[in-house]
Structure 1
Amino acid sequence: MQDEILKRTVKPSAPVVSLADVKLDLRVDHTFEDTLIQSLIDAAVQYLEAPSGVLGKAFITQVWEMSTRGPDDDCRIYLPVTPVQAIDAISYFDSDNVEQSLTVTDFHLYGDENWAYITPKNDVEWPDLFDRLDAITVTFTAGFGAAESFVPETIRQVVRLLVTHWYINRSAVDTGTIATEIPMAAQSLIAVNRKGWNY
């Protein structure tokens, strides 16, 4: 596995599930618990979403920067947050430790919602790199789409199930044991959407 530095530079601009939809699930028609419910929605998304969540995927469109020492032996750089919509920029430090830019169209992007990597086109080679952890930085856009309607319904349902469960069983949230207090229905949907292949 490649060494990497990963940073999200643009956060999603839309929710995975709306507060209003979750309140319908909970049959809550008042507003004095909106802050609590929204915090549970945020916790559910964080529990599921890339880079550290159990699904390892980005949901709503967002932008990431990943820096690494360089490509692997197959001339590939794997991107840990998927699905990748586009490569926005590629920069590197040359052999003199001067930052340079590469032409994005000189590279192929391969992948699906479980994995992604870039590699040079046939007539292109990776440049000589300075020996540093952030020798190459790839800026990329990830996520299923710009609105919640693009996110698979099974993922959105997991978020709603988790929020409902934690709202009803607040002791799990209060004691910090939410990661182990997952209802079986949510576990099944998590298994369906978990990344099936990792590098």
Structure 2
Amino acid sequence: MGLTIQTEPTIEPVSLADMTPFARGYLDEHRSMMQGLIVSARKYVENYTRRSLINTVYDYTLESLSDEITLPRSPVVSVTSITYVDTNGNTQTLSSSLYTVDTAAKPGKIYKAYNATYPSIRSQHDAVTVRFTAGYGTTTSAIPEPLKLCIKMLAAQWYDQPEPVLTGTIATALPFGLENILTQYRMVEIH
């Protein structure tokens, strides 16, 4: 099983202007560095929570088709296609009449349709590819404010203090409050 990004988000959930109150000493000559920190903070938040903030297109590869497929990123917007390698080694597209998509589930799921029979699939690595879109939309308006706040806090922390935060004698990657906010949005890991 593997997950690859096919189409990256076209915008970031947080703008440079949003960062002004958060980054002490932020200067215009550091714009490109701050933009990079925003991208890194967004990716950190997405990987930690297993959520996509802005619509992103993914390919999720599997060994076979099953009655239920749990998608590894939320919220699922749509499933574009499911392709598979048939027993002759040719790539085919699975008919959408053979499955249903539950975008309301967190994480999103694909179910085999009632009374459907899947075609025979070649026994090989990554024989099935699910192309799907996950995210809160193409704009920032639907993204939960606590997740945007985490991006701002994380980018500001990395800007102001690039080394790990010390708690007593232990270095931690995230401040305690930030981790608590992110944990509320964390999706279950898929194995």
The TM-score normalised by the length of structure 2 is 0.87
C-alpha separation between the residues in 2 aligned to 1:151 and 1:47?
A: 15
The TM-score normalised by the length of structure 1 is 0.84
Q: CA deviation at 1:113?
A: 6.6
C-alpha separation between the residues in 1 aligned to 2:137 and 2:12?
A: 11
Local SS of the residue matching 1:158: helix
User: Which residue matches 1:65?
Assistant: 59
Q: CA deviation at 1:104?
A: 2.3
Structure 1's 93 and 58: CA in aligned 2 closer, same or farther, altered over 3 A? same
Number of residues paired by the alignment? 186
Describe the superposition over 1:51-70 as per-residue Cα deviations: whole angstroms up to 9, x where unpaired. Answer: xx211111100101111111
User: Which residue matches 2:153?
Assistant: 161
User: Which residue matches 1:99?
Assistant: 91
Q: CA deviation at 1:198?
A: 4.8
Where do 5+ consecutive residues of structure 1 fail to align? 174-178
Structure 1's 7 and 197: CA in aligned 2 closer, same or farther, altered over 3 A? closer
Q: RMSD across aligned C-alpha pairs, in angstroms?
A: 2.2
Q: Is the 8 A contact 1:115 1:198 kept in 2?
A: no
Q: CA deviation at 1:197?
A: 6.8
Q: Is the 8 A contact 1:165 1:183 kept in 2?
A: no
User: Which residue matches 1:24?
Assistant: 21
Q: CA deviation at 1:105?
A: 4.2
Where do 5+ consecutive residues of structure 2 fail to align? 166-170
User: Which residue matches 2:11?
Assistant: 14
Match of 1:182 among 160, 171, 174: 174
Q: Percent identity, please.
A: 26
Q: Is the 8 A contact 1:7 1:65 kept in 2?
A: yes
Structure 1's 118 and 186: CA in aligned 2 closer, same or farther, altered over 3 A? same
User: Do residues 47 (structure 1) and 44 (structure 2) align?
Assistant: yes
Amino acid at match of 2:50: G
